[in-house]
Each structure stands twice: as structure tokens, then as C-alpha cells.
Structure 1
Amino acid sequence: MIRHLLEGRENWTRLRGQDIGLLLTGIVAQAMEGRTEFIHHAAPLANYLSESFATETGLFCDSATGYLRRFATFTTQVYLAIACYSYGEYAGDLEMIHLGNACALRLIELQGPQGEWPWLFDAERGEVIDFYEVRSAHQYGMAPALLEFAERHNVDGASEALIRGFIWNFGENQLRRSMLIPSLQMSYGAQTRQSDMRGRIWRLGGAHLGRKARLTSPAKLTIRKECRSHELGWILWSFGERRDLPQITHNLFFSSALR
């Protein structure tokens, strides 16, 4: 399956940004472990990423073609930026490092006042379309995974943004609720609107009209009580070997949970 995807380059236009990001990151990760069977695809894939997904704003598009390509999620930004950093470090490609830095910097600039990582962006304008839903895994796992690369490459504000985003999970958020449940070894999935009848069309229409995204009133928010299987893996990947952020790793929230 992977070989078919990589060798059928005429079909790459059908892949979304997240697909491209995961493929390139995976190829590099395998090569670093001595498995180089796919490494000859890395440079063409990085080239395609740069030419078809990057924008002047620093944010990445969701797909290579189509009008809606400009509307991309936070997840798309993370997967593509990590791919840029991974390949850039492996191949010594400074242009790819620059793309990762530009994305990280723009995301930091768009972070919410309490550390919220927005859900949906207009990549071509470099703006937030909608903050919701604000997902816990983005706050404690995906953003830190990206920002660890950004820290390594001296992106301004990366460490501060990482900490601010993580602390959101401790209750420094609009609902003043902890999103972590130590007794169950789980986390709540997200903070979202109680009822959103506007849907995607309204959001995209607002982007077309240049309407600015805003945080809604806490009274209109609710907690999504789910915990997907992959989410807690993100926190392990992002923090399993870190000892330099005691305000997170040694926070009273964690130490009290172990008593």
C-alpha cells in the first residue's frame, strides 16, 4: 500500500496534507533506523510539499488543488511542519527547516489568549476561521511535538507557547475545568460549542467575507466527553524524555494524583 502510494506520483494530488506529512515523516524515521527502502522518495515528496502546500503566510494548505484547499485544520499544520523539520534535519535542507519555522511562528501568533490552539485556518490569509473545537490532544501532545522542533531551531516564543497551551489542560481555560482525569487515566476530548447549527458552510462563508474568528462565551461551551485511543500517545511522544519543563512535568496536578 505505502509503496503503491509513493511510486504512483501521478496520484499524489489526491493525497491530503496530513497524508503527505505522515508519509515524509515516516520515511525519514525509517531511514534514521537504517531502513532506507523508501528514502529515494523523500526528496521528491519534500519538493511536492513545498511547491503544493506551503503559502506565504507560513500556514499550509489542506490539499494541492481545489478552492477549498486553503481551509486547513491545526492537525494539517502540525503534520506538515513536523515533516518539514524531520526531512530538513535529516537531509540538511535549510529551506524545509525554514518552512517548519514559518508555520510554527504563525501558529504561535494565532494562539488564543489562554493558550488555545485554533481548530480551523485560512492558510492563504494566515488567519483563524474558527477556534472550536479546542482539542485536549492538540494542547498537550500535538502542539508540543511541533514546538519541540521549533525550540531546537530558535523560533521566538516556542517554549512559552508550549507551556501556555499545556497549562490549558490544568483548568486555565474558558470553562475553568481540568481536562485530565487521573483517576481514569484518561482526558476529556475537547471544549466545543453546545450547539453549532452554523456548521462548516457558515465558517467558510465567514472566511470569504473576511469575518474575524472569536472565542465564544463560556456559557455556550461544553466538554466533549470522549478520549480517543491515539490521544494519550501524543503526550508520551512529546514529553517522555523531557526534564526541562518542571512547570509541566512536576506540576502539582500530577504529583497530587500520585498520592
Structure 2
Amino acid sequence: MPIDFQHSLPSSARSVSSDHSGQQPPPVERAGIGVVDRLEAIESVSRKTRIQADRFLNVAKRGLPRMHRRGAFVHTLRAVNLDSNWTERLEGDSLRYTAIAALGLSYADRATQQQVLDGDTAFDLAHACAVRATTSADMGAIALSAWAAAEAGRFHSLPLFRQLVQILASDAPVATVDCAWALSAGLAARQFGDTQDVVSLATTRLMSARSPAGLFPHMLPASASGRFRAHIGCFADQVYPIQALSRLYAAQSNTEALSAAEVCAERICALQGPGGQWWWHYDTRNGVVVEGYPVYSVHQHAMAPMALLDLREAGGTDHSQAIIRGMYWLDDHPEVSTPLVASEKGVIWRKVARREPRKLVRAVSAVTTSLLPGLHVPGLDTLFPPIRVDYECRPYELGWLMYAWLSGGVVAQLAPNPAGDMPAVFKEI
């Protein structure tokens, strides 16, 4: 029997639509949302990519139950060698990853949700995340939990948005990724409560941090990363702002936000590797790659498709070919011959990285390019080749995979409808 997390919330955090009956609301009819939209769209361009996406979704459905325990998700599943026998070990616990899993699972059918969550649903999981996040000091976990509360749990968590306003209104540096998540959360929850302060503060922080090349730094402000890293933005620092700013345009017709998302997306697509690799570190000053490795599987199958499909759905450029190239890399990666997709285990191994001590190449490249843009020590590719597979898989990777491919329509439904300012999605609740 699903746990009634609704009544475990403070009254200010409960859904504005709750009837306090202790029962979940009826399933929402998400018109136009589901498997067919994004999967059929990519199939019209590449049948092979559609087959890949279906296969990877089945991997996620098989793997997520392995990573779920006691109403939450672990931090990682790691392959380990015990007495000359390889097995997998679960490690840690992550509120961030649990919230992301709730978002992804909310677009799966109810039977899949219950199979993954031991009888519970994404609705239950989102409410549980909101409760946990009220005592968290992690802005990323707070933002993701507020987002999941709105989109999967269907309510506005006032305590979480108060925390986000307090953080964003302060002078404290914030991570770009966390800020983008806060913006996405505010847009998702505005149908249930007032989130304008979060939306406005997060937008200002993101837009003011854009570099002349259109890329985003790792921290806001960039100087918070320190002298030798202030110029660097990682792949995640580009993807989540593209997603959030695309949604902002859909919700408020903010053309400046769409332009920022377009420029950033165009740049990372132009820099995509010859094998479809989404590279890791960028120089925000001139928009070139600082260091390409590791190449993360989640970037290929989930995060890049998620952001670029959101951009297209908002009315922006169609980057389907870049998505297709990125997906191909998972099955045909030139760096190693080792398969990255282990369907029978329900995992996609985390990354292909250099054989290097303590992230040496990234550190050296950060320092040299900070001194002179484009300056690299010669011979690093030969000395430290990218031939190491990280035999690890994290639940957020599979959660974003489901979200990327199953959430078609969510961006379009952020737009105000003709009857007023309430988005069409969940209007009947």
C-alpha cells in the first residue's frame, strides 16, 4: 500500500489541490505526453536511434529496481571483484538522485513505477523527497525535490521554495547546475503556487553569468571557482541552463532566454567530437574544449537529448543529428572495445576516462588555459590515453534517461493557455 506522504508534510507544503482524504489524486491525463512523442520524432529521422532509445529504456526499467531500497535510491552501483568473482555493490544514498528518479519514473506507466518502487509510485517518491529536503542544506537536492514535487507529486512545496529564495537572494556563490534546477523547479511549480521570486532570481543569476562565447561557468559568479578554474564550465553547466532557459521561453515568451539557450546549444553541438562525444570541460571565454575526457554515458543517452529536445519543443533549433551522433557513441565508441551497455545487469557503465593519476590532465589543462587560452601541453593524449572504463552506474543516469525520452510535451504545456496564466498540464487537479 503506498505510503501517504501528503499528510506527513507541513500544511504549507501540501498540494493546493489535496482533498486531504489520504488518497492519491486520480492519474493525470497528460495530453500529448508519453512514449510516442519523442521516440517517434527521433524515429522519423533515425530508426536505429529509436531502437537504441527503446533498448536503453528497458535497461533503465531493469536497473532502477536494483538501486532502490527503503523508499530511496542509492548513490551508485559499482562493479567489484570479490575473491576473483565480479559482482555489483550498492553504495550510499542520494536525495538528488532519488528526486531525479522520481521525475523520470513519473512518465512511465503505473505498473513500471510500482515494479521499480516496491509498490509505490513516483507521486509517493516525490512527496518523500519534499519531506527529506526540508532538512537539507544542499541547494541542488532542494531544487530537484521542489521540481519533483511539482511535476511528479503535483504540489507546490512552500518550505523548499522559501529556502531557494533565501539562497538565491544572498551574496553566496551558487553552482550553475543548482541555479538552473531552481529555475526549472519554479517553472514547474508555478501552476500550484507563487514561484516568481525563484524564477526571477535564478534567471538573473544565469543570464548575468553568460560569457561572450555563450557558455556558462561552473559557479555563479565564475570567480568563485578560483583563479585557475574560473574560465571553465563543464558539460552539465551548459545542458541544464539550455533546458531551463528553453522552458522559461515556453512559459513567459522570454526571447532573451531562448537566444541564450540557442547560442549555448549551437556551441556545444559545434564542438561535439568526431565519434559523437559530448566533451567535458569548455573554456567559457572563447568557446573551445579545454579537456574532452571523461566522456560520460549519461551525457550521451540522457542529458544532451533532454536539453536539446526541450529546446526544440520550446520552438528552438532541431539538433536531432547531434543527438543521434551522441547516441551512436554508446554502441560504437572508438576509445575502447569494451561494451558500455550491460542490458542483462540493467546498467550503462558510467564513463570512458583517461588512464591518469588523480585527474592530472584536467588539472594541467585548466592551469595552462587559464594562463593562455588554447595553451595545451603536447603529448598528453599519447601519455594518458582514454582507455579506462568506469564500471559504475548511478540511478540519476537512468532517471534522466527515462525523463529525456518519455517527457515529450512537458515544455509546450508550460505555456499559458488562452483562459489565463495557468499552464495546461495538470489543470484539472
TM-score with structure 2 length normalisation? Answer: 0.52
Shift of 1:88: 1.6
Per mean C-alpha deviation after superposition, the further-off stretch among 227-236 and 168-177 is 168-177
Counterpart for residue 96 of structure 1: 257
2:344 is aligned with 1:180: no
User: Does 1 or 2 have the higher relative contact order (CA < 8 Å, sep 6+)?
Assistant: 2
Look up the equivalent residue of 2:368 and give its one-letter code.
G
Q: Residue 114 of structure 1 contacts residue 172 of structure 1 at CA under 8 Å; is this kept in 2?
A: yes
1:119–1:213 CA distance, 2 compared to 1 (3 A): farther
Which sections of structure 2, spanning at least 5 residues, go unmatched?
1-133, 135-159, 409-429
8 Å contact kept, 2:245–2:261: yes
Q: Larger deviation: 35-44 or 86-95?
A: 35-44
Which residue does 2:80 correspond to in 1? none
Contact in 2 for aligned 1:171/1:177 (Cα 8 Å): no
Query: Does 2:243 match 1:82?
Result: yes
Does 1:106 pair with 2:267?
yes
Secondary structure of 1:128's partner? strand
Question: For 1:12 and 1:97, how far apart are their aligned partners in 2?
Answer: 26
Contact 2:242 2:265 in 1 (8 A): yes
| Letter paired with 1:227 | C
What are the superposed Cα offsets for residues 23-63 of structure 1, whole Å, 9 maximum, x if unpaired? 001111112xx222323331232122111x21121111112
User: CA-to-partner distance for each residue in 1:61-80, whole Å, 9 max, x for gaps?
Assistant: 11223143321110111111
2:165 maps to 6
After TM superposition, list the pairs within 5 Å mapping 1:1-259 onto structure 2: 2=160, 3-31=162-190, 34-51=191-208, 53-65=209-221, 66=223, 67=227, 68-152=229-313, 153-155=315-317, 158-196=319-357, 198-208=360-370, 209=372, 210-211=374-375, 216=381, 220-240=386-406
Separation of aligned partners in 2, 1:82 and 1:220? 29
- Alignment deviations for residues 153-210 of structure 1 (CA, whole Å, 9 cap, x no partner): 3426x11000000111112432144311110111110000122452543121231332
C-alpha separation in 2, matches of 1:166 and 1:76:
20
Provide the C-alpha distance between the structure 2 equivalents of 1:91 and 1:213, rounded to a whole number of angstroms: 46
Report sequence identity in percent.
Answer: 24
**C-alpha RMSD over aligned residues:** 2.3
CA distance in 2 between partners of 1:177 and 1:54 (Å):
38
3-state SS, counterpart of residue 244 of structure 2: helix
**Residue 124 to residue 201, structure 1, CA distance change in 2 (3 Å):** same
Tell me how far 1:13 sits from its aligned partner.
Answer: 3.9
Larger Rg: 2
Following superposition, the deviation at residue 124 of structure 1 comes to 1.4
CA pair 13-184 structure 1, distance change in 2 beyond 3 A: same
State the 1:220 CA deviation: 4.7
- 66-75 vs 7-16, which moves further: 7-16
- Cα distance between partner residues in 2 of 1:155 and 1:13: 34
Q: TM-score, normalised by structure 1?
A: 0.83
Instruction: Judge conservation of contact 1:171–1:179 (CA < 8 Å) in 2.
Output: no
The change in CA–CA distance for 1:50 and 1:78 in structure 2 (over 3 A counts) is same
User: Please, which moves more after superposition, 17-26 or 166-175?
Assistant: 166-175
Q: Per the alignment, do residues 90 and 10 of structure 1 end up closer, same or farther by CA in structure 2, a change over 3 Å counting? A: closer
Q: Is the 8 A contact 1:25 1:83 kept in 2?
A: yes
Q: Look up the SS of the partner of 1:69 in the other structure.
A: coil
CA distance in 2, matches of 1:173, 1:115: 10
- Unaligned segments of structure 1, at least 5 residues: 243-259
Cα separation, partners in 2 of 1:9 and 1:234, compared to 1, 3 Å: closer
